[in-house]
Protein backbone atom coordinates (compact mmCIF):
# COMPACT_ATOMS: atom_id res chain seq x y z
CA UNK A 1 0.00 0.00 0.00
CA UNK A 2 1.48 3.38 -0.93
CA UNK A 3 2.19 5.81 1.86
CA UNK A 4 -0.20 8.68 2.33
CA UNK A 5 0.98 12.14 1.28
CA UNK A 6 1.16 13.08 4.97
CA UNK A 7 3.36 10.07 5.76
CA UNK A 8 5.47 10.79 2.69
CA UNK A 9 5.98 14.39 3.84
CA UNK A 10 6.84 13.27 7.38
CA UNK A 11 9.39 10.71 6.19
CA UNK A 12 11.00 13.14 3.75
CA UNK A 13 11.10 15.98 6.25
CA UNK A 14 12.54 13.71 8.94
CA UNK A 15 15.37 12.61 6.69
CA UNK A 16 16.16 16.13 5.52
CA UNK A 17 15.91 17.69 8.99
CA UNK A 18 18.20 14.99 10.37
CA UNK A 19 20.78 15.22 7.60
CA UNK A 20 20.71 18.94 6.83
CA UNK A 21 19.26 20.64 9.91
CA UNK A 22 15.87 22.10 10.71
CA UNK A 23 16.55 25.72 9.83
CA UNK A 24 18.72 24.87 6.82
CA UNK A 25 15.93 22.82 5.25
CA UNK A 26 13.28 24.94 3.61
CA UNK A 27 9.74 24.07 2.66
CA UNK A 28 10.61 24.14 -1.05
CA UNK A 29 13.32 21.54 -0.48
CA UNK A 30 10.91 19.28 1.43
CA UNK A 31 8.09 19.43 -1.11
CA UNK A 32 10.48 18.87 -4.01
CA UNK A 33 12.07 15.85 -2.33
CA UNK A 34 8.65 14.46 -1.36
CA UNK A 35 7.31 14.98 -4.89
CA UNK A 36 4.33 17.05 -3.80
CA UNK A 37 3.27 20.65 -4.20
CA UNK A 38 3.54 23.26 -1.47
CA UNK A 39 -0.25 23.30 -0.94
CA UNK A 40 -0.20 19.58 -0.11
CA UNK A 41 2.21 20.28 2.73
CA UNK A 42 0.05 23.11 4.07
CA UNK A 43 -3.07 20.94 3.79
CA UNK A 44 -1.47 18.62 6.34
CA UNK A 45 0.67 21.00 8.42
CA UNK A 46 -0.23 24.60 9.25
CA UNK A 47 3.41 25.71 9.28
CA UNK A 48 6.97 24.50 9.10
CA UNK A 49 7.01 24.49 12.91
CA UNK A 50 3.96 22.21 12.92
CA UNK A 51 5.78 19.90 10.50
CA UNK A 52 8.86 19.86 12.76
CA UNK A 53 6.69 19.06 15.79
CA UNK A 54 4.98 16.23 13.91
CA UNK A 55 8.31 14.82 12.72
CA UNK A 56 9.73 14.84 16.24
CA UNK A 57 6.58 13.35 17.76
CA UNK A 58 6.39 10.58 15.16
CA UNK A 59 10.07 9.73 15.47
CA UNK A 60 9.84 9.73 19.26
CA UNK A 61 6.86 7.35 19.15
CA UNK A 62 8.85 4.94 16.96
CA UNK A 63 11.88 5.17 19.25
CA UNK A 64 9.84 4.56 22.41
CA UNK A 65 8.02 1.66 20.73
CA UNK A 66 11.39 0.07 19.88
CA UNK A 67 12.49 0.36 23.52
CA UNK A 68 9.16 -0.94 24.82
CA UNK A 69 9.24 -3.91 22.45
CA UNK A 70 12.74 -4.82 23.58
CA UNK A 71 11.98 -4.55 27.28
CA UNK A 72 8.55 -6.22 27.16
CA UNK A 73 10.01 -9.67 26.58
CA UNK A 74 13.12 -9.25 28.73
CA UNK A 75 13.37 -11.26 31.91
CA UNK A 76 13.92 -9.46 35.22
CA UNK A 77 17.62 -8.82 35.63
CA UNK A 78 18.03 -8.20 31.89
CA UNK A 79 15.46 -5.47 31.24
CA UNK A 80 17.85 -2.54 31.46
CA UNK A 81 20.38 -4.28 29.26
CA UNK A 82 17.62 -4.95 26.72
CA UNK A 83 16.77 -1.24 26.72
CA UNK A 84 20.43 -0.28 26.21
CA UNK A 85 20.73 -2.82 23.39
CA UNK A 86 17.59 -1.40 21.74
CA UNK A 87 18.99 2.11 22.07
CA UNK A 88 22.15 0.91 20.33
CA UNK A 89 20.20 -0.70 17.50
CA UNK A 90 18.28 2.56 17.07
CA UNK A 91 21.54 4.47 16.75
CA UNK A 92 22.83 1.97 14.20
CA UNK A 93 19.66 2.02 12.14
CA UNK A 94 18.34 5.58 12.54
CA UNK A 95 20.82 7.94 14.22
CA UNK A 96 24.42 7.36 13.10
CA UNK A 97 25.09 11.12 13.29
CA UNK A 98 23.63 11.73 16.74
CA UNK A 99 20.23 12.41 18.23
CA UNK A 100 17.65 14.45 16.34
CA UNK A 101 16.14 15.59 19.66
CA UNK A 102 19.46 17.10 20.73
CA UNK A 103 19.68 18.78 17.34
CA UNK A 104 16.18 20.18 17.85
CA UNK A 105 17.03 21.43 21.33
CA UNK A 106 20.04 23.24 19.93
CA UNK A 107 18.29 24.77 16.94
CA UNK A 108 15.07 25.74 18.70
CA UNK A 109 16.20 26.81 22.17
CA UNK A 110 15.91 30.46 21.16
CA UNK A 111 13.35 30.10 18.37
CA UNK A 112 10.49 27.91 19.59
CA UNK A 113 9.71 27.01 23.17
CA UNK A 114 7.19 24.44 21.90
CA UNK A 115 9.70 22.51 19.80
CA UNK A 116 12.37 22.80 22.48
CA UNK A 117 9.92 21.54 25.13
CA UNK A 118 8.89 18.62 22.90
CA UNK A 119 12.53 17.53 22.58
CA UNK A 120 13.16 17.96 26.32
CA UNK A 121 10.07 15.87 27.07
CA UNK A 122 11.41 13.12 24.79
CA UNK A 123 14.57 13.01 26.89
CA UNK A 124 12.48 12.84 30.07
CA UNK A 125 10.64 9.87 28.55
CA UNK A 126 13.93 8.06 28.03
CA UNK A 127 14.90 8.66 31.65
CA UNK A 128 11.49 7.35 32.76
CA UNK A 129 11.98 4.22 30.65
CA UNK A 130 15.35 3.67 32.33
CA UNK A 131 13.74 4.06 35.76
CA UNK A 132 11.03 1.54 34.84
CA UNK A 133 13.62 -0.92 33.51
CA UNK A 134 15.68 -0.66 36.68
CA UNK A 135 12.54 -1.25 38.73
CA UNK A 136 11.80 -4.43 36.79
CA UNK A 137 15.42 -5.48 37.41
CA UNK A 138 15.02 -4.82 41.14
CA UNK A 139 17.52 -1.95 41.08
CA UNK A 140 15.20 1.04 41.35
CA UNK A 141 16.41 1.87 44.87
CA UNK A 142 19.95 2.54 43.64
CA UNK A 143 20.26 6.30 44.02
CA UNK A 144 21.24 8.04 40.80
CA UNK A 145 21.62 4.86 38.71
CA UNK A 146 18.95 5.84 36.16
CA UNK A 147 20.56 9.26 35.72
CA UNK A 148 23.99 7.69 35.31
CA UNK A 149 22.72 5.28 32.66
CA UNK A 150 20.93 8.17 30.99
CA UNK A 151 24.26 10.00 30.79
CA UNK A 152 25.86 6.92 29.20
CA UNK A 153 23.12 6.68 26.56
CA UNK A 154 23.21 10.40 25.86
CA UNK A 155 26.99 10.19 25.52
CA UNK A 156 26.59 7.39 23.00
CA UNK A 157 24.31 9.67 20.94
CA UNK A 158 27.29 11.97 20.43
CA UNK A 159 30.00 9.34 20.36
CA UNK A 160 28.53 7.52 17.35
CA UNK A 161 29.28 10.55 15.19
CA UNK A 162 32.82 10.89 16.56
CA UNK A 163 33.99 7.33 17.15
CA UNK A 164 31.79 5.34 14.83
CA UNK A 165 28.85 3.19 15.78
CA UNK A 166 30.68 0.02 16.76
CA UNK A 167 33.19 1.70 19.09
CA UNK A 168 30.57 3.94 20.69
CA UNK A 169 28.19 1.05 21.29
CA UNK A 170 30.91 -1.21 22.65
CA UNK A 171 31.88 1.52 25.12
CA UNK A 172 28.22 2.05 25.99
CA UNK A 173 27.82 -1.65 26.73
CA UNK A 174 30.98 -1.72 28.85
CA UNK A 175 29.91 1.29 30.92
CA UNK A 176 26.39 -0.09 31.32
CA UNK A 177 27.73 -3.46 32.46
CA UNK A 178 30.01 -1.77 34.99
CA UNK A 179 27.23 0.39 36.43
CA UNK A 180 24.79 -2.52 36.62
CA UNK A 181 27.36 -4.87 38.15
CA UNK A 182 28.21 -2.35 40.86
CA UNK A 183 24.50 -1.79 41.56
CA UNK A 184 23.79 -5.52 41.68
CA UNK A 185 26.70 -5.98 44.07
CA UNK A 186 25.11 -3.46 46.43
CA UNK A 187 21.87 -5.44 46.52
CA UNK A 188 23.45 -8.79 47.34
Rounded Cα distance, 131 and 60, in Å: 18
Confidence band, pLDDT 50/70/90 cuts, at residue 48: very high
Share of the chain above pLDDT 90, in %: 93
Confidence band, pLDDT 50/70/90 cuts, at residue 22: very high
Q: How many CB atoms lie within 10 A of CB 42?
A: 15
Q: Residues 114-119: contacts with CB within 8 Å, 24+ apart?
A: 114/49, 114/53, 115/49, 115/52, 115/53, 115/56, 118/53, 118/56, 118/57, 118/60, 119/56
- Please provide the size of the chain in residues: 188
Rounded Cα distance, 55 and 8, in Å: 11
Query: Quick one: how far is CA 73 from the chain centroid?
Result: 21
pLDDT computed for residue 142 by the predictor? 78
pTM for the predicted model, two decimal places: 0.92
pLDDT computed for residue 2 by the predictor? 54
Whether residue 155 is predicted with pLDDT greater than 80 in this model: the reply is: yes
Rounded Cα distance, 33 and 173, in Å: 37
Rounded Cα distance, 145 and 147, in Å: 5
Confidence band, pLDDT 50/70/90 cuts, at residue 143: confident
Rounded Cα distance, 101 and 97, in Å: 12
Domains in the chain, ordered, with CATH? Answer: 1-45 (1.10.10.60), 48-187 (1.10.357.10)
Amino acid sequence: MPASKRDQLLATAEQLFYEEGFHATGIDRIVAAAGVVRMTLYNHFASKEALVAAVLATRHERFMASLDTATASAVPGQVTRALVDAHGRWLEDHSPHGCIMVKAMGEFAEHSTEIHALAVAAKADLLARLEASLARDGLDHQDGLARQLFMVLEGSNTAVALQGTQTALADTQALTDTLLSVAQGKTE
